[in-house]
Amino acid sequence: MAIVLFIVALLILIVVPNLSHQKKHAQTVHTSAMTTVVQTQLDTYLDATDKKTATLEELEKTGYLTDKQVNMAKKEGIRISGSQVKGT
């Protein structure tokens, strides 16, 4: 019984740090994907309107981004600077 508990504890010690790393990696990938989505929609909006810059709120108001996308972008620190989207 002690051997089984030792093996289970050893597996837990191996798995838990890996799960933490995977969560960080998934968050990084998600932020990158959101940045790409916002940049694509910003480019489309700027081409359609001949404007030089826009805000997340303008993109939402005009239907280029959904409310959920805008909230996620704000939560992840994604912002628009001129015609470029920047993540933190």
3-class secondary structure per residue, 2-50: HHHHHHHHHHHHHHHHHHHHHHHHHHHHHHHHHHHHHHHHHHHHHHHHC
**88 pLDDT above the threshold of 80:** no
Q: What is the pTM of this model?
A: 0.76
Domain chopping of the chain, boundaries:
27-86
| pLDDT tens-digit readout, 1-56 | 899 999 999 888 888 888 888 888 999 999 999 999 999 999 999 999 989 999 99
